[in-house]
Structure 1
Amino acid sequence: NVGKSTLFNRLLGRRKSIVFSHPGSTRDIIKEDLVVGDKTFYLVDSGGFDNEKDHYPTLIKEKILETIKKSDFIIFLLDGKSGFYNEDREILKIIREKKKKYVAVINKIDTKEAGENISEFYKLGIKKFIQVAAEHNRNVRTIREYINNNFSNLPANLVERNNAIPKIAIVGKPNAGKSTLINSLAKETISIVSKIPGTTRDSVNLKINRWNKDYLFIDTAGLRRKSKISDDMEYYSTNRAVDTIEKSDIVILIIDSQYGPTNQDSKISSLIKKNNKGIILAINKSDLIPNNIRDEKNISERILGSLPEINYAQTVLISALKSKNVDTIYKLID
């Protein structure tokens, strides 16, 4: 809750990451193009670095460590309102051990506590800090200028905007295998995968170049029935998923082959049809279907019969976990 997602959105100039007052709101790694001057960078929003040994903090911490290793430059964000934490020292130790370039930024300097707390951060052995108030967009421009100056020797590399790339939303019920599929498409861990339904909160973008063609896949939060939405965070996540469907070109609806289509799948299908989207029905976990009944044509016909509102959908039987038949999705998109 240091304000990473707020700063991420301010740097982008639009709301991409969900911002919520409860710590741990961001779980997946959110990645977007950041244009500074004549250069394009990948800006990455990570979850909070927490030493708790609960399920999610452990998964998030592993993902943060992996992200630090892959990064060229790090914005090391500190909380001026809450003051110095031992985790701050631990994060900085990792950054230095990996010999990464970084800039230290103290956030929330517009709070009365910040004036008393800023001196504590000199314990880290850092001589210069950028001080910002991300929520009110105060001094955020200085970070952009710092990035631009730090990479001034790089050639201009403005990239093609995502507007020209087909956008494919991956939707379905919680725990249907959406994040596993996006990781399989990427051939690396982009979304955190857990057996606990509702792990994904933000919409996670993944741009993939396949056969000299770009695709933009978007992993969304699981869509539950309204009566099952238990808190404000899940409400915002669900709204973000619905918004993603509306803005996409094609929607991949994942059906769990172990349960078949449910009433919620039918409602999601109606939402897709209402928005006139192309649809691919990905019947997941095919590796768990017994061999004697694994007839793709028969399974597809039965599932489409249960979802008459999208009986025009393309279908494919996949195992996202084992990357089985996943490449067929590209052919169906085209």
Structure 2
Amino acid sequence: MSADDEYEGRPDQIAEKLSELEPELVEQRAATLRASLADYDLDEDDAHLLAGVERGLDGIEYLPALPVVAIVGRPNVGKSALVNRILGRREAVVEDTPGVTRDRVTYKAEWMDRRFSLVDTGGWEPDARGIDASVAAQAEVAIDLSDVVLFVVDAMVGPTATDEQVVKLLRKSGKPVFLVANKIDDARHEPEAAALWSLGLGEPHPVSAIHGRGVADLLDQLMEKLPEISAVASHEIGGPRRVAILGRPNVGKSSLLNKAAGEERVVVNELAGTTRDPVDEIVELGGKLWRLVDTAGIRRRVHLQQGADFYASLRTATALEKAEVAVVVLDVSESLSEQDVRIIDMVLESGRSLVLAFNKWDLLSTDKLVDDDRRRYLEREIEQDLAHVAWAPRVNISAKTGRHLDKLVPALETSLESWDQRIPTGKFNAFLSELVAEHPHPLRGGKQPRILFGTQAASRPPTFVLFTTGFLDPGYRRFIARRLREIFGFEGTPIQINMRVREKRTR
């Protein structure tokens, strides 16, 4: 018996019971559960979330995207120390968001009652021969996807060749830049910061990230330049939906792009980018306009022979950050590879919606394959290697001939509709109550964790927050997500279920 089977239990009638509930009763129950949270210790973030529940008719707050501050710089200049200093090491404020790439982590930060996203671009490629290009490539991505940049330099070392590379990108970007002269631990070191005027980025801001010296002044000035709403992270309303076409080399991505943009007689717009002049193509498919985001991402530097995987992951991550839905192209004539699964997992971690496009399907259907057993093995591979994305729409296409390309559009629409979907708080809590009644969480250490209240905190992707009295097993959370899909749909989108374990208030 698998770990998840423990939660399945017997068949239930949750869907039927939910359909029979009166809307007024559903709302009354949710209000009672919400009121019961007053007996528990809640923090500021809890209050912020619950205030949104009270304001929205459907229990969800529509918030504009927070402005994005990127911290860039070469290794060992004190970027992580500055991140920790800005966050004040308050763990409640820190929200690790993994998966945008393995090298960038986003935190929620606050200064003078203003919240913003802080992007730490740590973890450069360790290969010393390629380190300069790796720093520049990471900085390119961070600059492109930020509103303001903090460029950190070790003032005690002075400007280096790598710093100069990053400066060129910063000048080209047109983004507001703060030159942070780090490691100025006392007044005696101030002259070292003055030497950084030579970088041509204006006045250096002397700080000591370790001791906190000068950081408050830096943040005060940062707030003056920081927009109220992000210009890069906000999603345009009503424009063409943004699609990234991803996949490992030689699976047919280019053929699919060319077929969509070329032979489908599509309008192509070249949109000037900020730092890398990316080309986003507006294509017409199924009578609708779609924006194919720049899936080339970071261009391979010809002189750099090392780190192909590093740059491939950067390209994929950049495309994902700009997209709303990812089409992952898989070659049915070859076995599914570890790289295929890794790309799909990057989509899941990024929280984008997903469509699986099985390319070269014409080879299977016309028996052109040398290996006659391939068709038989394909379904087995899908069941085993792609079981965790069984909810993603599958489209069998031939990118070369354009066969079944029209089926891509309904799949994209389904995934995006699910990605945007919201469940009213009352209905979600009714679902949780029925689910727990039918399938209670097993006892752990003689105790049974209870779900006090739940709400959908966000869409894009659908994100649910559960207030609980104890830790819910990962298997039970997966079970909740599975039943959510079975009852409410969510085909084509990842679902995130977060917990907030809270203790009862002591009188």
Structure 2 length-normalised TM: 0.35
Higher relative contact order (CA 8 A, sep 6+): 2
